[in-house]
Amino acid sequence: MINTQDYITSNKDRFLNELLNLLRIPSVSADSKYNDDVVKCANTLAEDLKKIGLDNVEICQTKGHPIVYGEKILDEALPTVLVYGHYDVQPADPIDLWTNPPFDPVIKKTELHPEGAIFARGACDDKGQMYMHVKAVESMLAKNELPCNVKFMIEGEEEVGSENLGVFVKNEKERLSADIILVSDTGMLANDVPSITTGLRGLSYVEVEVTGPEQRPSFWSLWRLCSKPYQYTM
């Protein structure tokens, strides 16, 4: 992968600028006033996948926000990696806690990031991680060092529960078939500890409603109730 590393080094500034442009799109899936921006982000991402050389790039419509798909099948005999990510982001509230506009990314050094880090909504969850995979595949394709088949499935509803993802996966089971799924939207133990999550479990969202008496009975009222002789008539 020496040639791939050289490509990454020589294109680092371009990669960074392309990511910053993606971060400038306020693709907030939870707020309908950003619906056009969500579509814009999907279109931008689809164009990026085409530019790096992926085939069958498609913006797949759902009942909600679209899913972006693309693939590079080099040889059916090779293993296939399905890359999952999402391009939607959480709302930026509360705005007053930001030191820079959330969709105007800046790079700055902090105590936690002495080498510098990008500060913007989506820089960490999940545009940054997702775009890392896109640029990695671009670099390997450019230098003919991609060792496997690759498929991308990038959704726009992760931050609102992925309501339509299950339907899409079920309907596109054959197209999405793969030997392994690569997800980068996971946790890190610490900034200085490399972390690899090898398995994920699903989440179950449950709302529990409990009803009871308007007033809690006193101990003595319960005692009197329980000690009262049982009466019956013949």
- In whole angstroms, how far apart are CA 181 and each of 14, 85, 166? 27, 10, 15
Evaluate if pTM is beyond 0.95. Answer: no
Evaluate whether residue 158 is within a structural domain.
Answer: yes
Which two three-digit tokens encode residue 24? 């400038």
Range of the domain at 162: 2-206
Evaluate whether residue 231 is within a structural domain.
Answer: no
Residues 81-106 as b/e (b if ≥16 CB within 10 A, e otherwise) read bbbbbbbbbbebeeeeeeeeebbebe
Number of domains in the chain: 1
From 37, 88, 138, 159, the catalytic residue: 88
Evaluate whether residue 215 is within a structural domain.
Answer: no
pLDDT score for 200:
75
- One digit per residue, the tens of pLDDT, for the chain of length 234 reads 899 999 999 999 999 999 999 999 999 999 999 999 999 999 999 999 999 999 999 999 999 999 999 999 999 999 999 999 999 999 999 999 999 999 999 999 999 889 999 999 999 899 999 999 999 999 999 999 999 999 999 999 999 999 999 999 999 999 999 999 999 888 888 878 888 888 877 777 788 888 877 766 665 665 665 655 555 454
Note if 93 is an active site residue.
no
Sign (positive or negative) of CA dihedral 50, 54, 55, 56: negative
pLDDT score for 218:
64
Q: What is the CATH number of the domain that holds 132?
A: 3.40.630.10
Evaluate whether residue 78 is within a structural domain.
Answer: yes
Name the residue with tokens 């085409």.
Answer: 50
Evaluate whether residue 211 is within a structural domain.
Answer: no
Evaluate whether residue 147 is within a structural domain.
Answer: yes
Evaluate whether residue 8 is within a structural domain.
Answer: yes
From 48, 126, 157, 158, the catalytic residue: 158
Evaluate whether residue 94 is within a structural domain.
Answer: yes
pLDDT score for 175:
97
Note if 88 is an active site residue.
yes
